[in-house]
Amino acid sequence: MLGYAAKDERGGYSGGSAGDQTGKEVYVNGWYQQGWNVVLRPKSDVLAEKMARQCEAGCANNNIGYSQSTRNTIYVEAQKVGLDLAKINTPCNCDCSSFIGTICVCAGLPASAFYSGNMPVTSTMRGCCTSTG
């Protein structure tokens, strides 16, 4: 299974309304072939389980939607509720990489590795993750 942020309620990538309007902006789905060239896995089973729980919670929370133009609002809202994606109660947005970066921080990885005013983008995600060990 794969939890991911896909596209906004209009089928676009930027400018969507905050929150998941369709239930398909941020959700869990079966694996699909997208041309991936790297897989990053936590070294600790405990961390992996925390990340999986946060991913599932984020996908189930319809207050979390998709829009690249407001992609960091997920992290702002997560900070307000003790870094628990299940508890976000204010509509916000993410994109694929800000979703994963926020999951990493919510699971216990250092925020400084992922957030410095902007969550990582796909091209910098690998470096952010590997910098945590």
Q: pTM value?
A: 0.95
Q: Is 120:101 a contact under the CB 8 Å cutoff? A: yes
* Nearest CA among 75, 101, 111 for reference residue 90: 75
| Antiparallel, parallel or unpaired: β 92-94 and 2-5 | unpaired
Banded model confidence at residue 11, pLDDT cuts 50, 70, 90: very high
Q: What is the pLDDT of residue 38?
A: 84
State the average pLDDT for the chain.
Answer: 94
What is the pLDDT, as a whole number, of residue 30? 81
Q: DSSP string covering the chain, please?
A: -EEEE---TTS-SSSPPSS-SSS-SEEEE-------------S-HHHHHHHHHHHHHHHH-TTEEE-GGGTTHHHHHHHHTTS-GGG--S-EEE-HHHHHHHHHHHTTS-GGGT-SSSPPPHHHHHHHHHTT-
Do strands 64-66 and 26-29 pair parallel, antiparallel, or not at all (unpaired)? unpaired
46-76: pLDDT as tens digits: 999 999 999 999 999 999 999 999 999 999 9
Tens digits of residue pLDDT in 17-40: 999 999 999 999 887 677 778 888
- Taking only the tens place, the pLDDT of each residue in 85-130 is 999 999 999 999 999 999 999 999 999 999 999 999 989 999 999 9
